Chains A and B, each alone.
Chain A
Amino acid sequence: MFQILLILLIYLPLVLLMGKYLNKISMNEKTIGERFFSPIEKLIFKVCGIQQDDMSGKKYFLSMLAVNFMMVAIGYIILRTQKYLFFNPNQIDNMETTLSFNTIISFMTNTNLQHYSGESGLSYLSQMIVITFLMFTSAATGYAVCMAFCRKFIAKSDVNGNFFVDFTKIITRVLLPFSFVISLSLIWQGVPQTLQKNTTITTLEGKQQDLAFGPIASLESIKHLGTNGGGFNGANSSTPFENPTVLTKIIEMLSMMLLPGACVVAFGLMIAYRKNKKSWIGKQGAVIFTAMAAIFIVGLVTVYFAEKAGNPLITQLGMDQQAGSMEGKESRFGIAQSALFTTVTTAFTTGTVNNMHDTLTPLGGLVPMFNMMLNVVFGGKGVGLMNMMMYMLLAIFIACLMIGRTPQFLGKRIEAKEMKLIALCILVHPALILGFSALAVATVGGVDGITNPGAHGLSQVLYEFASSAANNGSGFEGLADNSTFWNVTTGLAMFFGRYTSIALQLAIATLIAKKAVNVETETMLKTDTPMFATFLVAIILIVGALTFLPALALGPISEFLQISMK
């Protein structure tokens, strides 16, 4: 536990600094390295014909859609023709139609659900020009939208910011330079970065062994920094070449925690500056951050103790299980670092795994599933903050109804129109997960994918759709998901999970941006107090628990009871 605590302590100063940096970029202020970045960005703007004019919420959304659409189209063509293109030393074949559809949606929506295995499914060119490229652009899309969303809450008009500018700056000032440095540190620790083809060696006992190489380090850094999560290899960050040491594991984990946390800090700073207060995170930001952190810590502790306790069925075999439930885990990470990674990857919605989630103990597997069902505990690529704001507005609304005040946030009234959209936004997510899960267990195509018997089979289905709708991308990987049914249904869940939420959230922010600001008085509900943070967590848990409890009871909780009773 001590090592977990230390890592979280290292994280705090990093996230505050990053939040400050992100805030400057969002507000179009000068940052460190201005003289270096500015000319590069100007060149990109010139080549692409970008005017830096302010956009309305609608225009911003449509610009994002157009760019995403184009990336999907070109990426799809490359996946379908990779056999004929260059950088394919391992002679990988073209990708099949529904699998290509699933893959391209998966990476554009920053989900990174993988129904293929990297070693045998992608050429080096596809790994770089499709996968690595989409990891940058899907993350930049998410953060750009989040920046626009935050600005609208504090703005006096809807027309502000330009999608193309936000998108470019996130890549040039954040993602590229950070990825570069992180990649180098990963190579130093042993992550391969080469275009050389896979080799066969003769082992110590005279057998043949195939080793899979590739440009892994350059993908690995952005995979975590952009909270993407799609591995170069089938077994993702549990494979030694993607994650060779405990140091790379810490680097990868801090990378994925950095930006989602920083978004909250940046938003907190925007609100604090509006009141002309200087601070590190601002009172409002601290409330949001604490609420997220509280749910995170509870989840982390649960996974740790569930895994540490081990599998009762293994104990019954009479072996020594003091090391905890090590099935599906790596010796170099052990229980502590695996529990931490599991909680982080699902709370921060990355989807990279350093142990196999399908093999987690029932309660240890419940936490990552629940994190994705809530989808507000930091969350990936800025989207987590936006989801959290939905719950926050809902909490304000409910609290004000209880004490008989007019619901408002930052002096702006929350009225019927916004509340309808907020309710819709909160309902889309469970509707996708539970609706598609119901479809899967009711159809032959869906049931065929289930590989574990009993209650765990349902968990596999729930996990897959929770992961798709939350744009997470991790899986209970036993699921035989490369079939037409699973490729198409999860593709749709990812698509609607991403774009419906973004459309609704930008619409809500647009409505709020246009509202007149009321002078704040003493009688207003205070939203920056510990009291409100507690209330917010309660609302999230009540809404989340009520929606998903029946499904969880049939899946992981049943399995837990089954194996502890035996």
Chain B
Amino acid sequence: MNWIKSLKKALLITLTFMVICGLIYPLVLTGIGQIAFPKQANGSLIKEDGKVIGSSLIGQQFDEEGHFTSRPSAVGYNMYDKRDTDFAGVSSGSNNYAPSNPALIDRLKESLKEFEHQNPSIAKSDIPAELMTASGSGLDPHISVKAAKVQIPRIVNESGLSTQEVKGIIENATEHKVLNVFGEEKVNVLEANRLIDRK
């Protein structure tokens, strides 16, 4: 039977490549990755006093007024309170609001109101929209330099640091463009807040 023969051949090919591409390739890569780049391969975790406080690549939500705030997240940065049982499980994504969706404007107005309340000295026209809009992944670890600078007066007020010190922290937590061309200037929020806490 011709077609049985060709199905058998198809089965052999499927199994062979399943082993090569689905097992050998990822497992060998895991081995090499773990040896050559152990930190990155395990999620670029950062420690403070021996305890893991996060990953340098994954954003966190900051509620204390003496900390820089991150962008809003549709998944709440996968964060929850210890006693909280509502957490739906780890995920990623955005609200997927269309530019014309009234829900987007309502959410923005809400964030804007809160921000103005916490930062009374800032004029509305100086608030960068990128700080009020949610990222695509809901895990964005960065904010723009402008979005960090606009928070300086509040942080100076709440943390007791001088304006100069806060500016220095922003400087230190800023990641620059690659070769001065590719990408954007941005501030790693977790890094900046860690520097605040250290002082």
Question: Which residue of the partner chain A has the closest CB to B175?
Answer: A332
Q: Tell me the bound Cα distance from A211 to B48 in angstroms.
A: 17
Q: Tell me the bound Cα distance from A337 to B80 in angstroms.
A: 32
Q: How far is the CB of A181 from chain B (nearest CB, A)?
A: 11
Say yes or no for A562: interface residue by CB 8 A criterion: yes
Q: Tell me the residues in window 1-45 of chain B with beta carbons closer than 8 Å to chain A beta carbons.
A: 6-18, 20-23, 25-26, 29-30, 32-34, 36-37, 40-45
A234 near B93: Cβ-Cβ < 8 Å: yes
A14-22, A200-208, A498-506 - the one binding chain B: A200-208
Partner of B7, one of A70, A198, A239: A70
B17 near A136: Cβ-Cβ < 8 Å: yes
A358 near B96: Cβ-Cβ < 8 Å: yes
Say yes or no for B118: interface residue by CB 8 A criterion: no
Say yes or no for A440: interface residue by CB 8 A criterion: no
With contacts A137-B17, A194-B30, A244-B57 taken as known, whether A238 is within 8 angstroms of B137 at the C-beta atoms is: yes
Say yes or no for A355: interface residue by CB 8 A criterion: yes
Say yes or no for A217: interface residue by CB 8 A criterion: yes
Q: Tell me the bound Cα distance from A95 to B18 in angstroms.
A: 20
Residues on A with C-beta less than 8 A from B152 are none
Name the prevailing secondary structure of the B interface residues. Answer: mixed
Question: Which residue of the partner chain B has the closest CB to A479?
Answer: B96
B21 near A132: Cβ-Cβ < 8 Å: yes
Residues on A with C-beta less than 8 A from B132 are 319
B178 near A247: Cβ-Cβ < 8 Å: yes
Partner of B25, one of A196, A202, A218, A249: A218
A311 near B99: Cβ-Cβ < 8 Å: yes
Residues on A with C-beta less than 8 A from B10 are 63, 66-67, 69-70
Say yes or no for A11: interface residue by CB 8 A criterion: no
Q: Tell me the bound Cα distance from A178 to B116 in angstroms.
A: 51
Which one of B26, B40, B184, B194 has the highest number of Cβ atoms from chain A below 10 Å of its Cβ?
A: B26
Say yes or no for A27: interface residue by CB 8 A criterion: no
Residues on B with C-beta less than 8 A from A310 are 129
Residues on B with C-beta less than 8 A from A320 are 125-129, 146
Give the number of chain A interface residues (Cβ < 8 Å).
121
User: When each residue 170-192 of chain A gets 1 if its CB lies under 8 Å from chain B and 0 otherwise, what string results?
Assistant: 01000010011001100111111
With contacts A44-B16, A202-B51, A208-B80 taken as known, whether A193 is within 8 angstroms of B93 at the C-beta atoms is: no
A330 near B90: Cβ-Cβ < 8 Å: no
With contacts A120-B90, A192-B40 taken as known, whether A210 is within 8 angstroms of B22 at the C-beta atoms is: no
User: When each residue 167-199 of chain B gets 1 if its CB lies under 8 Å from chain A and 0 otherwise, what string results?
Assistant: 000000001011001111010001001100100
Partner of B54, one of A204, A217, A234, A478: A204
Partner of A318, one of B16, B94, B125: B125
With contacts A211-B78, A319-B127 taken as known, whether A247 is within 8 angstroms of B100 at the C-beta atoms is: no
Residues on A with C-beta less than 8 A from B52 are 201-202
With contacts A192-B40, A207-B80 taken as known, whether A328 is within 8 angstroms of B134 at the C-beta atoms is: yes
Q: How far is the CB of B158 from chain A (nearest CB, A)?
A: 14
Give the number of chain B interface residues (Cβ < 8 Å).
108
Q: How far is the CB of B23 from chain A (nearest CB, A)?
A: 6
B98 near A48: Cβ-Cβ < 8 Å: no
A323 near B21: Cβ-Cβ < 8 Å: no
Residues on A with C-beta less than 8 A from B143 are 331
Say yes or no for B92: interface residue by CB 8 A criterion: yes
A150-158, A385-393, A449-457 - the one binding chain B: A449-457
Residues on B with C-beta less than 8 A from A245 are 178, 183
B62 near A205: Cβ-Cβ < 8 Å: yes
Say yes or no for A250: interface residue by CB 8 A criterion: yes
Q: Tell me the bound Cα distance from A93 to B61 in angstroms.
A: 30
Which one of B13, B16, B141, B175 has the highest number of Cβ atoms from chain A below 10 Å of its Cβ?
A: B13
Residues on A with C-beta less than 8 A from B140 are 240, 330-332
A133 near B181: Cβ-Cβ < 8 Å: no
B79 near A209: Cβ-Cβ < 8 Å: yes
Residues on B with C-beta less than 8 A from A130 are 22
Residues on B with C-beta less than 8 A from A456 are 98-101
Residues on B with C-beta less than 8 A from A213 are 42-43
Q: How far is the CB of B59 from chain A (nearest CB, A)?
A: 8
Q: Tell me the residues in window 122-170 of chain B with beta carbons closer than 8 Å to chain A beta carbons.
A: 124-130, 132-144, 146
B16 near A204: Cβ-Cβ < 8 Å: no
A321 near B16: Cβ-Cβ < 8 Å: no
B89 near A332: Cβ-Cβ < 8 Å: no
Partner of A193, one of B6, B30, B91, B104: B30
A215 near B136: Cβ-Cβ < 8 Å: no
Q: How far is the CB of A200 from chain B (nearest CB, A)?
A: 9
Q: Tell me the bound Cα distance from A310 to B193 in angstroms.
A: 30
A317 near B41: Cβ-Cβ < 8 Å: no
Residues on A with C-beta less than 8 A from B141 are 240
Q: How far is the CB of A341 from chain B (nearest CB, A)?
A: 11
Residues on A with C-beta less than 8 A from B33 are 183-184, 187, 193-194, 217
B22 near A128: Cβ-Cβ < 8 Å: yes
With contacts A314-B129, A451-B96 taken as known, whether A129 is within 8 angstroms of B25 at the C-beta atoms is: no
Q: How far is the CB of B109 from chain A (nearest CB, A)?
A: 7
A334 near B9: Cβ-Cβ < 8 Å: no
Residues on B with C-beta less than 8 A from A210 are 78, 80, 87, 89-90
With contacts A70-B11, A190-B40, A192-B41 taken as known, whether A119 is within 8 angstroms of B90 at the C-beta atoms is: yes
Q: Which 9 A-B pairs have the closest CB atoms?
A: A478-B96, A246-B183, A238-B136, A129-B22, A133-B22, A331-B142, A235-B92, A456-B98, A218-B26
**10 residue pairs A–B, Cβ–Cβ below 8 Å:** A47-B12, A47-B16, A66-B10, A137-B17, A189-B40, A323-B128, A332-B184, A333-B184, A353-B136, A354-B136
Known A-B contacts: A128-B22, A246-B178, A456-B98. Give 6 more (CB < 8 A): A204-B67, A240-B58, A327-B104, A330-B135, A356-B93, A478-B97
